[in-house]
Structure 1
Amino acid sequence: MIIEFESIPSDELFEEIDRMIASNSTKWEKSDSVYSYSTFWGNGTPAPEGESEADDGIFKITLSKGSKYGAIEDGAW
């Protein structure tokens, strides 16, 4: 799913994500100006809060610094 923000996300948002990445306290990753967060569960990997341990799934968010657009992916198998 492509998402559009009302305005370009602030530099402060990306600075906060950069701090989390630097502290190794997040699943966010950065490649150039593209930021992504992804998680998966099932087949022995614990489900995130709010998801069933009986299900298998994936969730990913991608944001590009300086863009109003991003993407959300989710799925199950």
Structure 2
Amino acid sequence: MSVKLRGSDLTRALLVRGDKQVWCAVDDDGDEQAMMDHCGNDFTACIVSFKEGCFYCSGGSTWLFAVPIKVVAVTQHEMQL
């Protein structure tokens, strides 16, 4: 039986695997909170390491939870322009 990693556990596994940057939704209260839109003030960060119980982003800030996300550019067609 294989374990399905999710949320912050998946981010830690990606870093252990050797990934150098993982785009994540971040929060200090939990994975679910990281994925919520806080009145338009959502937080994403490029996570570069995990040590002493914290995720570190490329800007040097620390976070307790980091959920991997996909960041992709949208096209003109998708925006219906």
TM-score range, shorter chain: under 0.3
TM normalised by structure 2 equals 0.26
Structure (1/2) with the larger strand percentage: 1
Give the structure-1-normalised TM-score. 0.27
